Structure 1
Amino acid sequence: MKVLVIDIGGSNIKILATGQPERIKIPSGRDFTPEQMVPLVKEASKDWDYEAISIGFPGVVKHGKIVANPINMGIGWTGFDFESAFGCKVKIINDAAMQALGSYEGGKLLFMGFGTGLGTAMIFEDVILPLEGGHLPFKLGTFESHVGNDALKKLGKTRWKELVYQTIAHFQHCFQPDEIVLGGGNSKLLEEIPPYCRLGSNKNAFTGGFRLWEKSFRS
């Protein structure tokens, strides 16, 4: 099956289709809506051949449906009919869960994505478990408010890294994974990788999007 994968982020939309050598980036932003996204994706992918779409969405997805608008983007995502808009079959999954799926090599995996916010998800065998761990209370805020992109800019790299390592330790102790994959653009700022962790790659989001159509995963 030829699949178009759409990885939605607070700063950019990234797309890639089966057999294509390079992804395409499309700027998004805080007021970005699905009505704006669809024509931009169609135009960018007009020369690509695909029959189904996987969407990684930065928010809560239940049973393949978006149930809340994202914090860092515009409104109108809940209830939007992507299949009618694109004219093909569409599967929607939380963006961290899609990266986790693309990173999965077996056992009990925890994914932590350090980017605009903190994306978290777990996979065990064929079960995908999206988490909203970034919104758990931490110090005088949440984990996300301490390790997200705004915190990096406000606190500086040194203090931000200290809080990231604390966050990883808390999540490791709580969820007891076999392995933690550290993803998101800001994970590259970590000079030392903690035990039981490995760096992921944003490319894994596309691998996860393709895998959604290869076998049946439960979420």
Structure 2
Amino acid sequence: MKVLVIDIGGSNIKILATDEPERIKIPSGPDFTPEDMVPLVVEAAKDWNYDVISIGFPGVVKQGKIAANPVNMGLGWKGYDFEAAFGCPVKIINDAAMQALGSYEGGKLLFMGFGTGLGTAFVFEELILPLEGGHMPFKQGTFETHVGNDAMKKMGKKRWKEMVYLSIAHFRRCFQPDQIVLGGGNSKLLEDIPEDCVMGSNKNAFTGGFRLWEKSYKY
């Protein structure tokens, strides 16, 4: 089975198919809709062979369906029929959960993605648990308001790093993982990586998308 993986982001859509050497980037943006995305993906992947599609979506996904429109893109995502649009089977999963699955090597894994906000997910055996950890209350706001892009711009990198390390410590105590994978573009700003943490890679999102069709994962 050949899989096309679509990793949706607020600035770019990234796609990669089984056996293809290089991903393709497609610009998105604040008004980007699924009606905009589908023809662009079909055109970009016209020379690739694929039987099924995995979509990593930057928002809440419940029972394989998009539960709400994203805050950083256009409307129309909730309830959109991707299988009809693409003409093949489609699995949709939260983007942080897809990257967590691609990072998984056993045990209990917690993924924390530091980017525009905070993406979180937990993987244990065949259970993939998307989390909205960034929206949990923290100090005078939420974790996301203390470790997201806006927080870094407001408080500076030094203070932002302190908040990141504190957030990691809170999540560690809560979820008791065997390993924490740090992802998202801003995680690269951390010089000191906590002992039980490893740096992830955006490539793991594609690995997760491919793996999604290998087993009957619960997510």
TM-score grouping bracket, smaller chain normalisation: over 0.9
> For 2:59, what is the secondary structure of its paired residue?
coil
- Structure 1 Cα separation of the partners of residues 52 and 142 of structure 2: 36
Mean Cα deviation higher: 202-211 or 148-157: 148-157
- Structure 2 Cα separation of the partners of residues 88 and 170 of structure 1: 42
Mean Cα deviation higher: 98-107 or 38-47: 38-47
> For 2:165, what is the secondary structure of its paired residue?
helix
Q: Which residue of 1 aligns with 2:92?
A: 92
Matched, 1:51 2:51: yes
- Structure 1 Cα separation of the partners of residues 19 and 61 of structure 2: 28
Q: Which residue of 2 aligns with 1:71?
A: 71
Q: 1:185 is aligned with what amino acid?
A: G
- Structure 2 Cα separation of the partners of residues 4 and 153 of structure 1: 36
Mean Cα deviation higher: 105-114 or 22-31: 22-31
> For 1:137, what is the secondary structure of its paired residue?
coil
> For 2:49, what is the secondary structure of its paired residue?
coil
Instruction: Specify whether residues 16 and 165 from structure 1 end up closer, same or farther in structure 2 by C-alpha distance, changes over 3 A only.
Output: same
Deviation of the 1:75 alpha carbon: 1.3
- Structure 2 Cα separation of the partners of residues 119 and 83 of structure 1: 26
Deviations 1:75-129 (A, max 9, x none): 1111000011111110000101000000000001000011121110001111111
TM-score by length of 1: 0.97
Deviations 1:9-47 (A, max 9, x none): 122111100011111111112221111111111111111
- Equivalences for 1:15-34 in 2 at 5 Å? 15-34=15-34
> For 2:166, what is the secondary structure of its paired residue?
helix
% identical aligned pairs: 81
Matched, 1:61 2:80: no
Matched, 1:105 2:111: no
Q: CA RMSD in A?
A: 0.9
> For 1:141, what is the secondary structure of its paired residue?
coil
Matched, 1:36 2:32: no
- Structure 1 Cα separation of the partners of residues 4 and 154 of structure 2: 36
- Equivalences for 1:170-181 in 2 at 5 Å? 170-181=170-181
Q: 1:115 is aligned with what amino acid?
A: G
Q: Which residue of 2 aligns with 1:142?
A: 142
- Structure 2 Cα separation of the partners of residues 125 and 164 of structure 1: 27
In structure 2, the gaps of 5 or more residues are none
Deviation of the 1:153 alpha carbon: 2.4
Deviation of the 1:151 alpha carbon: 1.8
TM-score by length of 2: 0.97
Matched, 1:193 2:193: yes
> For 2:145, what is the secondary structure of its paired residue?
helix
Question: 4+ residue stretches of structure 1 with deviation over 6 A?
Answer: none
- Structure 2 Cα separation of the partners of residues 52 and 138 of structure 1: 40
Deviation of the 1:131 alpha carbon: 0.4
Q: 2:209 is aligned with what amino acid?
A: G
What is the aligned length? 219
Deviation of the 1:156 alpha carbon: 2.1
